[in-house]
């Protein structure tokens, strides 16, 4: 018995939830004695007012598209992967290994190789929790949380003891060679006569992220594997009846999830830093949870949510600079978005359902 039209479920509910989240964010801004209107203006100006701002916004959005897709693909199999953060961390290691191991002649060769490296490392890091969930019933939420911490410790060790440049104080790897440099928007758009800001970190990875959205759509809704992932996610007992292998689906869904998170490293490690630094992921894996929830696990929704969070991140940096509102405000907004779109979904949904039933009855009468 569907009580609500599809559009209400897909658009209206997320919209109301986000407005609620922003309303409370506004209250927080007012509570610390600032003007929310000025804050929004500052953020919009900072994020979209210049090609530099746009470049940063899209750079952040690229990260969030990858991690959002990562969380979403697991979620379609009803696996709550909180481990995208750790998987993206390991993806960074994979990308760094690829970039440092070979003196790449050109980015067109380096990028596919780095993608494979990042995806493979990310997937490998997701494999153990996936295997334990599938074979031993260990709850994937807890194991992926544990693996985030283990990833962070492992990264600390590798940077200090393996990749650190001898004699350097900083716990970071050597710079990647020029052949591993990815074209930035500035370089990509110059031939078309568009002068994009030189310092903005947005790079060709953004296009890879868009491509990932398209592939994601076809994978989930048009292929047999996607069909099986969704079927398993909706009802594991029915999937068992149909002969869909539980273990296989859990592991494959998590491998894809980990690979997508690992792919993020072509943006932040290869595209921006051009070397491996500590905590390069900067929480993007966690933002993927908010992005996937907000985007209803659909690539179009994820793309829009990622742009929104890219805007929040870039705008938040501007806020910190111009309005001395700490960047952590973004973390607050992120928490509120997850709270309202995820945990408090029923708070918005139940009254709306009642409303639609009442409207239906009126129509009949």
Partner 1 sequence: MDYLTVIQILDSALRLATPLLLTCLAGLFSERAGVVDIGLEAKLLAAAFLSGAVAHTTGSIWIGLGAGVAGSLAFSMLHGLASITFKGDQLISGVALNFLAAGLTVVIGQAWFKLGGRTPSLTPDERFSSWEPSFTEAMSHIPVIGPAADELIAGHTVLTYIALAAVPLSWWVLFRTRFGLRLRAVGENPSAVDTAGVSVVALRYAALVIAGVLCGLAGTYLASLAAGFVKDMSAGRGYIALAALIFAKWRPWYALYATLLFGLLEAIGNRYQSISVGDFVIPVQFMQALPYILTVIILAGFVGKAIPPRAGGQPYVKER
Partner 2 sequence: MSVQTDKGRQETAAPTASAPAIELRGISKAFGPVQANKDISIRVEKGTIHGIIGENGAGKSTLMSILYGFYKADAGEIFIDGQKVDITDSQAAISAGIGMVFQHFKLVENFTVLENVILGAEDGGLLKPSIAKARKLLKQLSDEYELSVDPDALIEDLSVGHQQRVEILKALYRQADILILDEPTGVLTPAEADHLFRILDGLRAEGKTIILITHKLREIMESTDTVSVMRRGEMTATVKTAETSPEQLAELMVGRKVLLRVDKAAATPGAPILEVENLRVKDDQGVERVKGISFEVRAGEILGIAGVSGNGQTELLEVLGGMMDGTGTIRMNGEEIDLTGKYSDGKSRRARGIAHVPEDRHDEGLILEFQAWENMVFGYHNAPEYQKNALLMDNAGIKAMTQKSMDKFDVRPPNPLLEAKSFSGGNQQKIVLAREIERNPDLLLIGQPTRGVDIGAIEFIHQQIVALRDEGKAILLVSVELDEIMSLSDRIAVMFDGKIMGERLPSETNEGELGLLMAGMTGEDA
Residues at the contact surface with partner 2, assessed by CB under 8 A: 1-3, 218, 222-224, 227-228, 230-231, 234-235, 237-238, 240-245, 353, 357, 360
Ordered DSSP codes for 278-304? TT-STTHHHHHHHHHHHTTT-HHHHHH
Among 6, 137, 243, 364, binds partner 1 (CB under 8 A): 137
**In 3D, which of 226, 188, 217 has the Cα closest to residue 302?**
217
- Where does this chain touch partner 1 (CB under 8 A) — which range of 103-111, 203-211, 222-230, 341-349? 341-349
The neighbouring-strand residues paired with 203 are 184
Which residue is listed with tokens 């995806």? 119
The residues, any chain, with a CB within 8 Å of residue 289's CB and separated by 6 or more, are: 71, 82, 84, 338, 342
Q: How far apart are CB 237 and partner 2 at their closest, in Å?
A: 5
Burial 294-313 (b: 16+ CB within 10 A, else e): bbbbbbebbbbbbbbbbbbb
- Interface with partner 1 includes 139 (CB under 8 A)? yes
> 135 is written with which tokens?
């074979």
Q: Say if CB 290 and CB 330 are below 8 A apart.
A: no
By beta-carbon proximity to partner 1, the closer residue of 142 and 215 is 142
- Interface with partner 1 includes 293 (CB under 8 A)? yes
> 300 is written with which tokens?
């179009």
Q: How far apart are CB 5 and partner 1 at their closest, in Å?
A: 22
By beta-carbon proximity to partner 2, the closer residue of 131 and 227 is 227
Binder of residue 238, out of partner 2, partner 1, none (CB less than 5 to 8 A by kind): partner 2
51-76 and 299-318 helices, crossing angle to 10°: 140
CA distance 73 to 300: 14
- Where does this chain touch partner 1 (CB under 8 A) — which range of 58-66, 116-124, 331-339, 355-363? 331-339
> 174 is written with which tokens?
């050597």
Among 328, 354, 357, 358, binds partner 1 (CB under 8 A): 328
- Where does this chain touch partner 1 (CB under 8 A) — which range of 93-101, 171-179, 258-266, 338-346? 338-346
Which residue is listed with tokens 């370089």? 187
Binder of residue 102, out of partner 1, partner 2, none (CB less than 5 to 8 A by kind): none
| Contact track, partner 1, 270-289, x by CB under 8 A | ----------------x--x
Binder of residue 243, out of partner 2, partner 1, none (CB less than 5 to 8 A by kind): partner 2
CA distance 272 to 224: 36
Indicate the SS3 state at residue 184: strand
Binding site for partner 1 (CB under 8 A): 28, 31-33, 80, 82, 128, 132, 136-139, 141-143, 145-147, 149-150, 153-154, 156-157, 160-161, 286, 289, 293, 324-326, 328-336, 338-339, 342-347, 350
């Amino acid at each position: 018995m569907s009580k609500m039209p599809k559009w209400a479920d897909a658009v209206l509910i997320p919209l109301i939830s986000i407005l609620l989240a922003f309303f409370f964010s506004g209250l927080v801004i007012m509570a610390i004695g600032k003007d929310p209107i000025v804050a929004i203006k500052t953020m919009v100006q900072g994020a979209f007012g210049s090609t530099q701002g746009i470049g940063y916004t899209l750079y952040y959005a690229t990260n969030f598209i990858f991690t959002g897709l990562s969380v979403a693909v697991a979620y379609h199999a009803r696996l709550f992967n909180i481990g995208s953060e750790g998987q993206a961390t390991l993806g960074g290691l994979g990308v760094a290994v690829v970039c440092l191991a070979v003196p790449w002649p050109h980015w067109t060769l380096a990028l596919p190789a780095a993608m494979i490296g990042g995806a493979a490392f990310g997937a490998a890091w997701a494999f153990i929790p996936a295997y334990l969930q599938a074979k031993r019933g260990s709850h994937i939420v807890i194991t992926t949380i544990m693996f985030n911490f283990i990833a962070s410790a492992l990264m600390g060790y590798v940077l200090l003891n393996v990749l650190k440049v001898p004699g350097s104080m900083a716990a970071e790897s050597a710079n990647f060679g020029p052949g591993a440099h990815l074209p930035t928007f500035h370089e990509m758009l110059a031939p078309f006569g568009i002068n994009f800001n030189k310092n903005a970190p947005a790079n060709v990875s953004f296009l890879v992220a868009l491509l990932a959205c398209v592939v994601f759509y076809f994978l989930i809704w048009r292929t047999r594997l996607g069909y099986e992932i969704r079927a398993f996610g909706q009802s594991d007992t029915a999937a068992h009846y149909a002969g869909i292998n539980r273990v296989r689906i859990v592991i494959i869904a998590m491998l894809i999830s980990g690979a997508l998170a690992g792919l993020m490293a072509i943006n932040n490690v290869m595209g921006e830093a051009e070397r491996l630094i500590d905590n390069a992921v900067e929480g993007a894996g966690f933002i993927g949870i908010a992005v996937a929830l907000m985007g209803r696990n659909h690539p179009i929704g994820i793309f829009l949510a990622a742009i929104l969070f890219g805007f929040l991140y870039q705008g938040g940096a501007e806020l910190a600079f111009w309005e001395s509102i700490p960047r952590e405000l973004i973390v607050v907004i992120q928490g509120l978005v997850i709270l309202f779109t995820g945990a408090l979904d029923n708070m918005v949904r139940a009254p709306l359902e009642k409303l639609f039933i009442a409207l239906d009855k009126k129509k009949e009468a």
